[in-house]
Amino acid sequence: MYARLPSFVYGFHGCAVETANNVLVKGEHLRASTNTYDWLGHGVYFWENNYSRAVEWAEIHDPGNSAVIGAIIDLGNCLNLSDSGYFPALKTAYDILQLRTMFQNKPMPENRGENPDKRLRDLDCSVIEQVHKYARSQNTRGFDTVRGLFIEGNPIYPGSGLFEKTHIQICVVNPNCIKGYFRPLLENPGYPMP
């Protein structure tokens, strides 16, 4: 009853200049990511209300050729991973995935990476994709978006419980949730921000 998030949020997608031009000028749509290690399953990824992280990501992945696309996103039926009410669905999906891999005689996916952030999240991706598969198999309305809070990076100051790269990511599964794209404007330093 109280799980519904605000209707619209701003999302920022870091990409190459060519991709930004294709979307903003030619009217193309961003393509869904389908990597096995995607943090929130398969879909189009955005940094929620975090333009600077999108810039940083784009510059790391395509130095000298980076851009950021803004989007207005309706979260719709959102699998909100910051709401503990959704945790039972994730645990059930994990159990189903575990049984399925056992019957197929395959190893269980694992989150991988050299640092504590485990940036290659094969297990998390597989569990979230299992949530989507289960919803489809039950002929129930699936999730339009997935939203997750990620604590990343170094402490902001010694002894801090706050970290430099903490962020919220949104994975848009249903492309109809993207209501529009825009080219983000830079702040006008002559005026205060409202």
- Cα separation, 26 vs 115, whole angstroms: 39
| pLDDT tier at 1, thresholds 50, 70, 90 | very low
pLDDT at 67 over 60: yes
pLDDT at 152 over 90: no
Domains of the chain: 9-182 (3.90.228)
Mean pLDDT for 129-149 is: 89
- Cα separation, 85 vs 139, whole angstroms: 21
Q: 93, 135 in Cβ contact below 8 A?
A: no
pLDDT of residue 130: 95
CA dist list (Å): 97 to 89, 124, 131, 172: 12, 11, 10, 22
pLDDT of residue 136: 83
- pLDDT tens, 21-54? 999 999 999 999 999 999 999 999 999 999 999 9
- pLDDT tens, 170-189? 999 999 999 999 999 988 99
pTM for this predicted structure: 0.90
